[in-house]
Amino acid sequence: MTSMSRARVARRIAAGAAYGGGGIGLLGAAAVGVLLAEVRMARRVVGNGHSPHPPSAEGVYGHTHGSRYGRAYGYGSYGSSYDVPDDPPLRLVMLGDSTAAGQGVHRSRQTPGALIASGLAAVAERPVLLRNVALPGAQSDDLDRQVALVLEDPAQIPDVCVIMIGANDVTHRMPPTRSVRHLSAAVRRLRTAGAEVVVGTCPDLGTLEPVQQPLRWLARRASRQLAAAQTIGTVEQGGRTVSLGDLLGPEFEQNPRELFGPDNYHPSAEGYATAAMAVLPTVCAALGLWPEEERPDVSRREGFLPVARAAAEAASEAGTEVTAAMPTGPRGPWALLKRRRRRRVPATDPAPTAAAEAQPGA
């Protein structure tokens, strides 16, 4: 499917979500049925190594152990060794499904939340308080509950929220208009409360090892269509997106033993590090911590595009960021498409490495 075709489909899905339209099928009913059977077979062994639960990574990052903020919030301290006791911590919250929760790894420091928090603390040079309300197996309709948890205390509004959602919507046949409607509502509520929002869009389900062709192609097509529609819905509500589908596609396909965990479904520590390093620059940019060029870098094919076209382009390329740029015009809302530098980090000690490699221009 060309980017223009994907843009048209994404625009239709987003419009249906905004105006309460019915579901627009991403795949034919027969194909979806067979795909679901394949995916369910692939997921029979899904777990977290020896435990079905992801490790908890909540805590204060960027402080030496025993700092007053770690004690005040009842958490231990992680990350880099500098100590800035007078700076209040930035508040980072992870929402979404098992990917946001970090299912598939054994150590808390290997989860995407811990990696992003460590990197953010290094760039901001201040502590970061991480909270994670993501639920393994969640679909986009669970975001309503998760956002309510995040906003229940007006005195604890996060500075930035990272949402990773979408894979279960595809495998459970949630109509994409409904999926995008729930995501858009979540972004709107968080932005209205004052939090910045970064969405890691639907990953590429065509990379699951047990799923064979032609179902891999169908899964990839459905994933990218949903990712593009998610981008439109998010950007229109004032959030930013980072495409994970293509990022986790070719790299996972070429290195499945390195980037998938023991269950062959969730990412390994190396896979989560790859995803976290794609999301981290956008999280920093949302908080004004990343140096911004005055104009898009044409050599990197960055630029201002109608939001639907930017969404389609992002769904096809690893780690591409899309954010609102201009008011609505004759061709609809516009967006800025950026391809920020990213580097994959080793899985041996991801939290400190993530913090070190998060520096702008790395």
Active-site residue (options: 140, 223, 266, 268): 266
Active-site residue (options: 83, 87, 141, 263): 263
Provide the pLDDT for residue 230: 93
Provide the pLDDT for residue 259: 44
Q: For the whole model, what pTM was predicted? A: 0.78
Quick: pLDDT tens for 92-129. Answer: 999 999 889 988 788 889 899 999 999 999 999 999 99
Structure tokens at 209: 């090892």
Structure tokens at 211: 């799923």
Provide the pLDDT for residue 306: 83
Provide the pLDDT for residue 80: 42
Q: Please name the residue that has the structure tokens 């060794």.
A: 81
Provide the pLDDT for residue 350: 40
Q: Which residues of the chain have pLDDT under 50?
A: 19, 21-24, 45-51, 64-84, 249, 251, 257-261, 343-362
- Is 98 tagged catalytic? yes
Q: Please name the residue that has the structure tokens 């930017």.
A: 310
Active-site residue (options: 3, 77, 98, 184): 98
- Is 266 tagged catalytic? yes
Quick: pLDDT tens for 313-353. Answer: 888 776 888 888 866 665 667 888 888 755 444 333 344 33
Indicate the angle between helix axes 112-124 and 350-357, nearest 10 degrees. 40
| Helical residues (DSSP H) of the chain, grouped into ranges | 3-19, 29-42, 68-72, 98-101, 112-124, 143-150, 167-171, 176-193, 215-236, 250-254, 256-259, 269-286, 307-315, 350-357
Strand order in the sheet with 90-96: 77-78, 59-61, 128-132, 90-96, 160-164, 196-200, 240-242, 320-329, 332-339, 303-306
- Is 263 tagged catalytic? yes
- What is the tally of helices (H) and strands (E) in the chain? 14, 10
Q: Which residues contact 39 (CB under 8 A, 6 or more apart)?
A: 171, 205, 208, 211, 219
Structure tokens at 295: 């104009």
